[in-house]
Structure 1
């Protein structure tokens, strides 16, 4: 327990710095670009984040699930083999998707075309940021995982923001690409130093196929969840205006402060719970899980209450007077973050127990509900309507995730789940020792 608390403290410090850096970068960009320019950038980043997640083909979820098991079983070369195979698959998937998005953007033209072309530039970077985070977390370096994905990219953008170059959304997209590439390069060096690979050490084709199947199963649920989080900011310029997108993006950036402690809990606790389950320590795993869920919900609620009390003055102080109208959206997004926090922990555990298909069904149900709610609320209420739709959808999703994870953590079902899901990742661990 002392080790867990120490890891939480170290990782929490990194996550706090990451949120501050992200907020500062958003502050500079919002004031440089104005409401409409910032809205266009936010829509581009949202589409890139979704495309990047799809371009990973589910490998970050597989790394988070399998690497702790390999480490606990001292599976020899398996961690290095898994990462190398994942890197190759993610490169193919993300570059192929980026090419398709760029072509679609050229054909579409207008605002949609600008968003798609800008997102295409960022998709491979976003994909490898997600890979870096998952690999470092799975290798027991949660602080470095958050640094690679959340701290170094906004720091890089801030360094470029001190120059007069960031005067347009296109320049801001280029800055995000450059900063993300630098973060990915650092993370790649770090993770290969933790799990060195031998030249030409390629796993058997059967093992590669098993890994990819497991990754794609996880992708179906995780991509739906991310789409739920990004659907509103992608739909806003189509159903309302770029200005409403800018207001929403500002409110969302402040609400993300609520997710800082939750990100720490997920990054630190889920690999530990997974390792405990792999070792057969069910009681310890359940105790860690309950504590993580309670801490996630409580921390998000406390930060959300502070944000709502600070209200409009905080928005004006951070982003400028143009963004004062974002307060209704901020209120609803604060509710959404509280609703989502326990579900993030529950999702990680459900995937670790081999319940990827059930988690995917829940995520897709919530996504369809969220899209329908956006179609109804955005044309009438703009940014506030999008935020309210997100809050309702996240409440529905988290309720289902908590019920699913509570069911599979029952002793008898957990044993059955572990046997059934000796599936790709568990079977792969024994094969990977060869």
Structure 2
């Protein structure tokens, strides 16, 4: 009745919008482009350009292949992107508009690379949208390449960018590891073309990242790791350990740990026993559950919009003893939060209504406004939780 996940088209647009100088072009009514662009811009704090063929009722009845071809050519000539990603919508998927044929027919008239994505919203959820974009990019753009001279990794299934990604890239660089390509946040078409030159792939999304990692392993022989992502002190330590171990790099992590140990212990002493509600995507939810637990807090409820292949296995590894919801609608989620009475909610802007009705402060850990990754990010997030708990007690 009240869904907690969105559609395939949203995921496809979000994945493409992370690529430098790329534009998503939705073959559909104007509302699809407007509302997705509006939401992504509001969540990310920067303008997200989403193009549309702005189909009319007549177009839906009689077809609009010529309108699509004109829109592709206009986008290429006016915006000069490196990549145009043409996407179907619910309307054009239902009428069976052949976007692939239209794109092929104008390929010789444009300078941009072009891909097509079947993205009718009813086809699946946002995770499938992420996945189809990444797989299409790899299959159509990536080229065989010899491994780079210096140790390097690809980060697969990272779409948010911002302080977290910058911090991870900088920290890995200090350790002697370069990030070859991030699929898709901040990547260029050139990065994607050279994705096969990395020594290791690391999946940041249990729903959409595993498939591309497996494909890259099968086609190019690049091994992959999928757990953990660097949220929280223990997860961060293990994240860097497994990368350094795989790449045979001798780097003393103890200095990194020691720098933040005192703050970690202080946070643990002040936050012990605090009840926390976690509402997130699966990979981040697993990491947050581990982070909350290691600081002596109690995950009162963990809610995920969907799960990936390894989600429940990884969640059990955190020693979690709380209510877990997967794909529950908003009413069920609200009931679970009321039942479990969290003092703080770790989630995103969608959880504002629950925060206000329950009187539990909301810490937005979803949209990249504040650093959450790495040892420093763990201190920042812990500090935000502590501040919220103190404000609640006044």
Normalised by the length of structure 2, the TM-score is: 0.29
* Larger RCO, structures 1/2 (Cα 8 Å, 6+ apart): 1
Name the structure where strand makes up a greater proportion of residues: 2
Name the structure where helix makes up a greater proportion of residues: 1
Point out the structure with max Rg over C-alpha. Answer: 2
